[in-house]
Every structure is written in structure tokens, then in C-alpha cells.
Amino acid sequence: MKIFKKIMFLSFAICAMVLASCSSNDSDDEETPESQEEFIKFTYNGTVYNFEPGVMSSLNMNIMGSTGIDNTYKKISLWTPLNVTKGSHDIVYDLSNMETTYQASFSFMPAIKNANAKSGKINITAVDDKIIEGTFTFTGTSGEQTFTVTEGSFRVLR
């Protein structure tokens, strides 16, 4: 009977260890909450584009997204001051004042190559030590072609 009890105890202990090792609390198994997903999306010529954003900082902050290469290259960049603030901000192309102005640039090859927006708005709806998010719209010209970007929105982690 002692052997039977030992076998039962060992069987129970092994089952408990196997079940414990099968459950996981790793955050890698969980999806990123929607409130922390990063994106930059916009509409151009009736088509919605959604890029994975990147953020670079120096004298200002560049929130950008791109796809493609050569003649299929598409890029959008939003430039903000490092001390970005909530609210609606006019897009002003002013290279002499990059530390305080809100700017945008756009490439949509082959027709539009790194053109700067001439007018528009960037509306910062949330900003804290973890995220920046907002909406935008702008227009500009590249050579003889006028472009308009509408229904833009973004969320990036700092």
C-alpha cells in the first residue's frame, strides 16, 4: 500500500507541474492594447494609407511613415517642436524656426518628391510622457501638381 501511495503522490505532483508549466503569464502572449498601437494614416486621392510610424528627435520631432522604394516610394512626415502641446497648430513652412513651428512634408513617387506642405493643421489631441496622438490635414505643391492630404491621424509612443 505504501508503494501505491508513493506512485499516486508522484503522479499528482507530476500532473501539477505539467499544468503549471502550460499556463503562461508572459506579456508576449497578449496583444498590445489598442490604446498603445502606433500608426500614422491619411487619405490621398481617395485612398486611405496606413503606415507604421517612426519618431526621430533633434531640434524638433519628426513623426514619419513610409513604404516602397524608388518610383513606389511614399512618405509622410509631421514636424513638431520637442515641447509639443495639445491643441490645433497651423502648419507653417519656416526653416528658420524649426524649433517652434509645426510642419509637414510629403512624397508620393514618382509625381511628388519630398514636397513641403504650404498650409494645413496638426491637432494634438493627447500628449504625455508615453504617447503623442492627433489629427492632421494639409496641402502643398510639387512643381505644377497640387496635393491634398486629408483625414490624417497618428499615435506614437515617445
**pLDDT of res. 118:** 95
Tell me which residue range forms the domain holding 140.
37-157
Q: Domain for residue 73, yes or no?
A: yes
**pLDDT of res. 59:** 80
| Regions of the chain short of the pLDDT cut 50 | 1-33
The reported pTM is 0.75
Number of domain units in the chain: 1
Q: Domain for residue 8, yes or no?
A: no
Q: Domain for residue 90, yes or no?
A: yes
Q: Domain for residue 55, yes or no?
A: yes
**pLDDT of res. 34:** 55
**pLDDT of res. 98:** 78
Q: Domain for residue 22, yes or no?
A: no
Q: Domain for residue 14, yes or no?
A: no
CA neighbor of 109 nearest in space, from 71, 58, 82, 78: 71
- Please tell me whether residue 11 adopts helix, strand or coil conformation: helix
**pLDDT of res. 18:** 35
CA neighbor of 35 nearest in space, from 145, 147, 128, 155: 155
Q: Domain for residue 89, yes or no?
A: yes
State the virtual CA torsion across 35, 49, 158, 100 in degrees, nearest 10. Answer: -130
Q: Domain for residue 79, yes or no?
A: yes
